[in-house]
């Protein structure tokens, strides 16, 4: 592919001096109740540029892009397109102004053909839209923009990479000059990624711009011209990619003021970690564990780990890299496609959450309202969820409501939650109180292991401290704790070891006491640690 007009084949085109940026953001602010999502964000995207946007989960990238695409209205600041101030009342305005976004989760109609999806909700769709017309129009678009698609294929039958091409083509067909891609390579194979990048370079060569949200540092360095980093809703800075290294970016991205408050110190008399040679088998282990989602994509790949009594194993990683699957495998909610789960060194034949709970494995689920509670039912019914089948609540196939109410009262008291009465629907409680109740309910179950997924998500500082204290207390009693978190500060303060997940793979398990941010950041971005302080505990 050589384009005679430009010296470097797919490089940035020469831009006349004084050309205004395609997009300029000035002091964008966006607030949600109790949350500062974006504060004073200013950055610009020039024509002929691929601009990468980096940041941790919750750093404000998605909010910022939703402001740019007209889904949210900014609470402050200005959006300037080609030198003119713009305000978007609705997403359609942004599309008309040439801004197109491809979301991480595709917004296609699976039952429709590619051609139908491309033409859906588009004002240029001809009034008499026969399948033939739409397909020939789609073929023309596909050739014009260099994204090969099969116009007559039904979207549901396409691979993730093909669906993404349809999504991009749909945006380009609407004359987008600024293409925003959210984690575009997360679902792609390496070959598809190369194809995508080739197409993006061609798009850039025509004087258009791309904003690329990604966590993969290697890719970002490979494709982007400049990199902006957001942290806690604020713009930290913008650098030319040529001046950046992966290690440096990782440090900037996660390297905020980390308060290292060592919660690893055991109270006197606390149980020691049962990890020494000669000690009993680890409480819970995975050997070569893999699982696949409904589409057959491997979401957990060959994970081997051991959890010992009396320790907290932290699991770090960018959300969506296998954390959900790992917690579900460890709690018996998801069967493995390969590998084994071992409980006290003995393989567990069947993934059965009730059996895992009986074996003493508690589970604080990621999304407590959706999967850990029945929101419309009262506190009593919700607190009985784990013990309804055991005496005193469950005897001879009965459900003793009075005993269930006594249990609920015990849990409510232990959680120090004030409730008007136990017949209150649990959805009427605050998120913090719900989380405390779920945590106390599961701690009663967790005589061996507690698997806690994002237990502090959405809580205020006081509630977070309470929940973390629950975990350390449990550890001191000799229970093994698996703590999945997106908050590195929390992991570094509480965990004894930290495992990092990337694309379903456990990159490494490192000793938390000596771990440094840079190593964790690199691992989270898919780089293996150079010579990091890898402890042997992970890949035993």
Partner 1 sequence: MAGTLHRLPTVTPARRLAWRAGAIAAALAITTLFLALSGRDPRLLADLVVRSAVGSRFGLEDLALFLTPLLLTGAAVTVTGRIGVWNIGAEGQFYAGAIGATAVGLFLPGPAWLVLPLMAACGIACGMGWILLPALARAYAGVNEIITTLLLNFVAGLLTTYLAVGPWHDRVTGALASTGRLPVRIPEIWGVVHWGFPIALAIVLALAWLTTRTRWGYQITIGGANDQAARYAGIPVRARILGAMLLSGGLAALAGMFEVAGTVHRLQGGLANNFGYFGIVVAVLARGSCLNVLPAALLMAFILDAGIVLQTQQLTASAVLAITGLVLFMIAIADELAHYRPVTVRRATTGAEARP
Give Cα separations from 157 to 160, 162, 498 (angstroms): 10, 10, 39
User: Least Å distance between CB 455 and partner 1?
Assistant: 15
**Contact yes or no for 184/105 (Cβ under 8 A):** no
509: exposed, middle or buried (Cβ count in 10 Å: 0-12, 13-18, 19+): buried
Nearest partner of 360 among 479, 249, 196, judged by Cα: 479
CB of 267 to partner 1, least distance (A): 32
Write out the binding residues for partner 1, residues 250-309 only, by CB under 8 A.
none
Choices 48-56, 150-158, 202-210, 384-392 (CB under 8 A): range interacting with partner 1: 384-392
Produce one character per residue of 48-78: b if its CB has 16 or more CB atoms within 10 Å, e if not.
bbbbbbbbbebbbbbbbbbbbbbebebeebe
Provide the Cα torsion 302, 308, 310, 315; round to 10°.
-10
CA neighbor of 10 nearest in space, from 255, 184, 197: 197
Beta carbon nearer to partner 1, 29 or 385: 385
Write down the least CB distance from residue 32 to partner 1, Å. Answer: 21
Q: Give least dist CB 327 to partner 1, A.
A: 11
Among 216, 386, 497, 505, binds partner 1 (CB under 8 A): 386
Question: Which of 355, 476, 513, 533 is close enough to bind partner 1 by CB under 8 A?
Answer: 355
Nearer to partner 1 by C-beta: 65 or 484? 484
What is the rounded CA–CA span in Å between residue 482 and residue 4? 57
189 belongs to the binding site for partner 1 (CB under 8 A): no
144 or 401: whose CB is closer to partner 1?
Answer: 401
| Rounded alpha-carbon distances, angstroms, from residue 423 to 10, 239, 371, 376, 400 | 66, 56, 20, 11, 15
CB of 396 to partner 1, least distance (A): 9
Which residues between 405 and 444 bind partner 1 (CB under 8 A)? 424-425, 427-428
Among 384, 415, 450, 481, binds partner 1 (CB under 8 A): 384
> Using CB under 8 A, which of the segments 41-49, 209-217, 385-393, 463-471 binds partner 1?
385-393
Distance in angstroms (rounded) separating the CA atoms of residues 325 and 341: 13
Nearer to partner 1 by Cβ, of 105 and 370: the residue is 370
Least Å distance between CB 480 and partner 1?
A: 20
Q: Say how far apart CA 286 and CA 326 lie, in whole Å.
A: 10
- Least distance CB 449 / partner 1 (angstroms): 16
CA atoms of 162 and 192, how far apart (whole Å): 9
- Cα distance from N-terminal residue to C-terminal residue, the chain: 49
Strands (E), 295-364: 298-307, 312-316, 338-343, 346-347, 361-364
Which residue matches tokens 């020939």?
Answer: 136
- Residue 514 interacts with partner 1 (CB under 8 A): yes or no: no
User: Considering the rule CB under 8 A, would residue 91 count as an interface residue with partner 1?
Assistant: no
**DSSP 8-class letter at 107:** -
Q: Radius of gyration of the chain from Cα atoms?
A: 26
Task: Pick one of 376, 410, 430, 528: the residue that binds partner 1 (CB under 8 A).
Answer: 376
CB of 391 to partner 1, least distance (A): 12
Q: Is 80 helix (H, G, I), strand (E, B) or coil?
A: strand
Q: Number of residues interacting with partner 1: please give it, by CB under 8 A.
A: 34
Taking the least distance from each CB to partner 1, the nearer of 372 and 525 is 372
Interaction between residue 357 and partner 1 (CB under 8 A):
yes
SS3 364: strand
> Nearest distance from residue 74's CB to partner 1, in Å?
28
Distance of CA 91 to the CA centre of its chain: 24
CB of 462 to partner 1, least distance (A): 24
> Which segment (40-48, 92-100, 246-254, 380-388) binds partner 1 by CB under 8 A?
380-388
**Angle, CA of 28, 177 and 6, to the nearest 5°:** 120
Q: How far is the CB of 390 from partner 1 (least distance, A)?
A: 10
Closest CB to partner 1 among residues 370, 418? 370
Does residue 371 interact with partner 1 by CB under 8 A? yes
Q: Confirm or reject binding of residue 375 to partner 1 (CB under 8 A).
A: yes
Listing from the earlier edge strand, what are the strands of the sheet with 35-45?
Answer: 35-45, 23-32, 76-81, 84-86
With b meaning 16 or more CB within 10 Å and e meaning fewer, what string describes 174-198? bebbbbbbbbbbbbbeeebbebbbe
Among 180, 203, 168, 226, CA closest to 51: 226
Residue among 169, 226, 225, 161 nearest 194 (CA):
161
* Binding residue (CB under 8 A) for partner 1 from 156, 374, 413, 465: 374
Nearer to partner 1, 439 or 529 (CB): 439
User: In this chain, which of 18, 277, 349, 397 binds partner 1, going by CB under 8 A?
Assistant: 397
Strand pairing category for 209-213 and 226-231? unpaired
Q: Which is nearer to partner 1, 79 or 357 (CB)?
A: 357
The CA distances from residue 415 to 356, 383, 464, in Å, are: 23, 12, 13
Is the sign of the CA dihedral 339, 345, 347, 353 positive or negative? negative
Taking CB under 8 A as the criterion, the residue among 102, 196, 361, 373 binding partner 1 is 373
Interaction of residue 389 with partner 1, rule CB under 8 A: yes
Among 165, 201, 363, 505, binds partner 1 (CB under 8 A): 363
CB of 397 to partner 1, least distance (A): 5
Contact code string over 331-350 relative to partner 1, x by CB under 8 A: -xx-----------------
Q: Which of 206, 399, 416, 473 binds partner 1 (CB under 8 A)?
A: 399
Comparison of 419 and 512: residue with beta carbon closer to partner 1: 419
Residues of this chain that interact with partner 1 (CB under 8 A) are 332-333, 352-357, 363, 365, 370-377, 381, 384-386, 388-389, 394, 397-401, 424-425, 427-428
């Amino acid at each position: 592919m050589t384009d005679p007009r430009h010296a470097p084949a797919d490089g940035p085109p020469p831009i006349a001096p004084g050309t205004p940026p395609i997009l300029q953001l000035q002091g964008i602010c966006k607030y949600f109740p109790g949350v500062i999502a974006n504060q004073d964000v200013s950055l610009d995207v020039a024509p002929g540029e691929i601009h990468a946007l980096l940041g941790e989960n919750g750093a404000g990238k998605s909010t910022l892009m939703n402001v740019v695409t007209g889904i949210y209205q900014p609470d402050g600041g200005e959006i300037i397109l080609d030198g003119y101030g713009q305000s978007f009342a609705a997403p359609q305005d942004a599309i008309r102004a040439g801004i197109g976004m491809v979301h991480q989760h595709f917004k296609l109609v699976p039952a429709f053909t590619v051609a139908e999806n491309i033409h859906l909700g588009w004002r240029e769709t001809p009034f008499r839209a026969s399948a033939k017309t739409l397909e020939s129009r789609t073929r023309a678009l596909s050739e014009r923009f260099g994204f090969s698609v099969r116009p007559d294929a039904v979207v549901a039958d396409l691979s993730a990479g093909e669906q993404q091409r349809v999504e991009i083509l749909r945006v380009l067909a609407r004359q987008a000059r600024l293409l925003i891609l959210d984690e575009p390579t997360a679902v792609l194979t390496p070959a598809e990624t190369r194809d995508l990048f080739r197409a993006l370079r061609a798009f850039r060569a025509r004087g258009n711009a791309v904003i690329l949200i990604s966590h993969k540092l290697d890719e970002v360095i490979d494709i982007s011209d400049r990199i902006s980093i957001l942290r806690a809703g604020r713009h930290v800075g913008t650098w030319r990619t040529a001046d950046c290294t992966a290690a440096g970016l990782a440090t900037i991205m996660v390297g905020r003021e980390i308060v290292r408050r060592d919660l690893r110190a055991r109270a006197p008399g606390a149980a020691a970690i049962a990890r020494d040679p000669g000690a009993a088998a680890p409480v819970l282990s995975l050997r070569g564990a893999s699982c696949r989602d409904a589409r057959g994509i491997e979401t957990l790949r060959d994970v081997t780990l051991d959890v010992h009594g009396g320790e907290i194993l932290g699991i770090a990683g960018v959300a969506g890299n296998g954390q959900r699957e790992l917690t579900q495998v460890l709690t018996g909610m998801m069967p493995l496609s390969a590998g084994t789960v071992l409980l006290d060194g003995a393989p567990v034949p069947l993934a059965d959450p009730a059996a895992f709970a009986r074996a003493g494995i508690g589970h604080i689920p990621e999304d407590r309202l959706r999967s850990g509670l029945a929101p419309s039912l009262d506190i009593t019914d919700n607190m009985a969820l784990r013990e309804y089948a055991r005496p005193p609540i469950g005897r001879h196939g009965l459900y003793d409501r009075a005993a269930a109410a006594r249990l609920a009262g015990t849990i409510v008291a232990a959680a120090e939650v004030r409730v008007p009465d136990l017949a209150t629907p649990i959805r009427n409680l605050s998120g913090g109180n719900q989380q405390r109740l779920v945590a106390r309910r599961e701690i009663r179950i967790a005589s061996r292991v507690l698997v806690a997924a994002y237990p502090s998500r959405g809580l205020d500082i006081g509630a977070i401290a309470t929940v973390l204290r629950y975990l350390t207390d449990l550890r001191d009693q000799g229970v093994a704790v698996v703590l999945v978190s997106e908050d590195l500060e929390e992991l570094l303060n509480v965990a004894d070891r930290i495992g990092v997940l990337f694309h379903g793979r456990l990159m490494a398990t490192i000793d938390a006491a000596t771990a440094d941010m840079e190593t964790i950041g690199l691992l989270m971005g898919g780089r293996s640690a150079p010579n990091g302080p890898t402890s042997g505990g992970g890949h035993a």
